[in-house]
Amino acid sequence: MSTTDSTTASPDGMDSTERDEAARAFLADFRSMSTFGATTGGGVDRQAGTAADGQTRNWFRGLVEGHGFEVRYDAVGNQFALLELVPGVPYVAMGSHLDSQPLGGRFDGAYGVLAAAHAAIRLRAALADASAPAFNIAVINWFNEEGCRFKPSMMGSAVFTGKLPVEQVLATTDPRGTTVREALESIGTVGDFGLEVAAYLEIHIEQGRSLEDHGLSIGLVESTWGANKYEFVVHGEQAHTGATVIADRHDALLGASLLVAAAREIADEFSTDEHAVITSCGEFTVFPNSPVVVASRVDLLVDLRSTDHDVLAAADAELHRRVAAIEERADVSIERGAEHIWASKAYDASGMALAAAAAEELGLTYGTVRTLAGHDSTNMKDIVPTIMLFVPSVDGISHNEKELTRDEDMLAGVDLLTEVLRRVVGGDFVAGG
């Protein structure tokens, strides 16, 4: 982490005393934010549109309004904290998400939202005696990035970028039948706001261990992995587990289990030294889920990811080829439902160069990384110049109550995001408005 002495101002205009105060303020706010939806294991449970999510959103609104931001919401509950510096010009947006997985970590997404708010607060103070910037600033808390209560993930940014129609999203239901519209209305965070964005910045915990393994403070994200996510329904026939002989069974759970095993075998078969394939089945619902009943139906989600388009396409083709064989072996039918796909795609090279220069100025060690996970920047990079940054995750643990990023790494990330924002708002990344 960079340091300054008591007589030398840092690039964001703060001396060492002011920097210490800003660091303490960020950590205090992070501790306060982490109390909402807190779990006994040290994590949070703030699934999208729940009371805990609404409480966190209201807390965040109070925080930023106390610093002079205006808060607005769009039709799918994306929360915008607006800092108008020059009337009439577009916005540089930063953000991430405050929703979490069930029994998730405190850092995933939430760190990025709070870091963005503090970067904007710091920069506004630094710009007080400077020339007018080229852009205004928006901090965005995207709705339902996690995709656990409502599918798909990255829902709010998908609507914002035109990848999903708003009415389809509002009609989407959770497992209990509650719609997105009803969930948003229940927490009072839905509106009709729209925003013109010129560039997008996001900082996030790595959710992997490459930065920690290499002793680096910052990751400059060069590209996303490609990802294909499929919802499958395996249809069988309900029967007695004791009285029905194996030959007469149409066991949906057996078919689903073979699909899970096939996904893992495909990962092993198609991974190479140059390009890994990662597969998983993270959701599994069995009907009627009785100990003495052969399952009649299983809903599951199969997820394939790879760094290389051709490798992912080959693995994907093999998965679907195996479906027919599984249907025959288990004597079931397998229905393919909704899908959520994003391609492996590079982030803006000039943005990476800008972030690298900022890290060097601050004395932060950095390296280039790819993101295995999806983030809202995955959508935003398709419509505006986008910079994605990572800070280390201890042991690479994420989507787990044990998730941890050390204070010094969080603070280094805020320092860097502030400097990157200063350059982008000044017009170094995209032409001024």
pLDDT in tens, 218-240: 999 998 888 899 999 999 999 99
Rg (CA), the chain: 23
Q: Are residues 265 and 303 in the same domain?
A: yes
Q: How many domains does the chain have?
A: 2
Residue 68 backbone zone (phi > 0: left; psi -120 to 50: alpha; other: beta): left
Last residue of one domain, picked from the residues 318, 342, 366 = 342
Q: E strands within 160-261?
A: 197-205, 218-224, 226-235, 239-240
- Shared domain check, 193 and 238: no
Query: What does pTM read for this prediction?
Result: 0.86
> Are 424 and 416 within 8 A, CB to CB?
no
Q: How far is residue 135 from each of residues 10, 194, 373, measured CA to CA in Å? A: 22, 16, 30
Measured CA to CA, the distance from residue 159 to residue 142 in angstroms comes to 10
* Residue pLDDT, tens place only, 148-203: 999 999 999 999 999 999 999 999 999 999 999 999 999 999 999 999 999 999 99
- Distance of alpha carbon 189 from alpha carbon 416, whole angstroms: 30
Per-residue confidence (pLDDT) for residue 433, from 0 to 100: 44
Is it the case that residue 13 has pLDDT exceeding 90?
Answer: no
- Specify whether 249 is located in the same domain as 319: yes
Cis peptide before 288 (omega within 30 of 0): yes
**Is the peptide bond prior to 90 cis by the omega test (within 30 degrees of 0)?**
no
Nearest residue to 181 (alpha-carbon basis) of 275, 231, 172:
172
Q: What residue numbers bound the domain in which 274 lies?
A: 228-342
Annotate 49-98 with three-state secondary structure.
Answer: CCHHHHHHHHHHHHHHHCCCCEEEECCCCCEEEEECCCCCCCEEEEEECC
Name the residue among 89, 76, 44, 27 with its Cα closest to residue 414: 27
User: What average pLDDT does range 6-18 have in this prediction?
Assistant: 63
Q: Kindly report, residue by residue over 52-72, the tens digit of the pLDDT.
A: 999 999 999 999 999 999 999
Question: Are 269 and 158 found together in one domain?
Answer: no
Residue 92 has pLDDT above 60, yes or no: yes
355 and 337 in one domain? no
Which residues, listed in sequence order, are joined to residue 233 by a DSSP beta bridge? 299, 335
Residue range 322-331: mean pLDDT, rounded: 96
Do 92 and 135 contact (CB within 8 A), yes or no? yes
Based on the domain organization, do 44 and 188 belong to the same domain? yes
Question: So what's the pLDDT on residue 5?
Answer: 36
**9-17 average pLDDT score:** 70
Whether residue 256 has pLDDT greater than 50: yes
* Percent of the chain surpassing pLDDT 70: 96
300-321 residue pLDDT tens: 999 999 988 899 999 999 999 9
Instruction: Report yes or no on 75 lying in a domain.
Output: yes
